[in-house]
């Protein structure tokens, strides 16, 4: 009967049985550290009572969890039964019902008590960050908000690396690799303000690596003598292996012999040999004809 009543209520407020509405994100407002005082620390926050579209939610179905981040990623916080008055529970809990948040002694409106934080012999509850996530559960269907952190979580740099070789697979030493951030906004990779270009140089094995801020797209320009190759790479929150990059080089000897020659014409072709009116994004061939009759074809990735 209770399950049927919940289902009827869900239908009345427009909640489909195939999925719970997603609650709006909470806000993490303040941390009060009692320090050496005779008292208890408190985490202040604001719980939403609407979904992401602004529709009012049934508070009976709202719950939340607290997360701690001490530098090793988000960890779910457990409220010990020995320290908290749960009203309805006798075991440790990691999820707090809205009813406890509204009525219980330990889970007050707008904040939660944290005990033993000023007791000798106990480590601080957190050294870096504390956050909160809200859940909405209807008839077994569950949805969740984003975790709202009290402090903006620092974006760690990630390692980008690869190997540069010539067309004969010989490693190229001394290739300048420059990562320049792309400033346009894109949904797939949110751009970060203030990211500066980063340079790296290949070693004797043709290997390079650079430490770059995550969540950013970069234009990658490789320069070796007169040869230039341009690529794009999106750096997210994991290390990026650019694998083996092949540079199509014009030999130094040819450049020296023909140092005074002039370009007669430049044409572009796609990878199937069809002539292009102008270079396009992607991979294409640049064909340069000189006044001495020589032709140099270079594969370009843009």
Residues 272-290: tens digit of each pLDDT: 677 787 777 777 778 787 7
Give the pLDDT band of residue 255 (cuts 50, 70, 90). Answer: very low
- Greatest mean pLDDT range, 199-203, 241-245, 259-263: 199-203
**Within the chain, which residue ranges are assigned CATH 2.60.40.10?**
155-249
Summarize pLDDT for 122-136 with one digit per residue, the tens. Answer: 666 666 788 999 999
Summarize pLDDT for 33-74 with one digit per residue, the tens. Answer: 776 666 678 899 999 999 999 999 999 999 999 998 776 667
- Report the topology of domain 155-249: Immunoglobulin-like (2.60.40)
Token output for 100: 């406890």
Residue 207 pLDDT > 90: yes
**pTM of the entire predicted model:** 0.47
- Percent residues over pLDDT 90 in the chain: 22
pLDDT, residue 119, reads 63
- Percent residues over pLDDT 70 in the chain: 70
């Amino acid at each position: 009967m209770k399950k049927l009543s919940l289902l009827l209520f869900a239908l009345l407020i427009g909640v489909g049985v195939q999925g719970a509405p997603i609650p709006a994100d909470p806000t993490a407002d303040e941390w009060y550290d009692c320090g050496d005082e005779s008292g208890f620390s408190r985490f202040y926050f604001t719980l939403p009572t609407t979904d992401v579209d602004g529709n009012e939610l049934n508070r009976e179905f709202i719950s939340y969890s607290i997360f701690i981040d001490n530098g090793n990623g988000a960890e779910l916080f457990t409220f010990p039964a020995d320290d908290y008055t749960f009203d309805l529970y006798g075991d440790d809990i990691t999820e707090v019902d809205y009813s406890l948040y509204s009525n219980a002694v330990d889970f007050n409106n707008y904040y939660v008590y944290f005990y033993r934080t000023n007791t000798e012999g106990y480590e601080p509850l957190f050294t870096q960050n504390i956050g909160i996530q809200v859940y909405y559960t209807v008839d077994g269907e569950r949805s969740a908000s984003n975790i709202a952190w009290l402090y903006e979580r620092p974006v760690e740099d990630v390692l980008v690396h690869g190997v540069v070789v010539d067309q004969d697979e010989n490693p190229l030493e001394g290739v300048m690799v420059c990562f320049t951030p792309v400033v346009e906004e894109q949904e797939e990779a949110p751009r970060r303000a203030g990211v500066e270009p980063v340079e790296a140089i290949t070693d004797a094995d043709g290997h390079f690596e650079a430490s770059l801020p995550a969540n950013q797209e970069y234009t990658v320009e490789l320069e070796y003598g007169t040869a230039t190759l341009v690529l794009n790479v999106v750096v997210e929150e994991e290390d990026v292996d650019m694998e083996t990059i092949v540079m199509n080089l014009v030999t130094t000897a040819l450049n020296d012999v023909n140092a005074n020659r002039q370009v007669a014409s430049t044409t572009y072709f796609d990878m199937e040999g069809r002539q292009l009116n102008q270079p396009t994004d992607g991979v294409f061939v640049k064909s340069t004809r000189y006044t001495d009759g020589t032709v140099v074809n270079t594969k370009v990735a843009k």
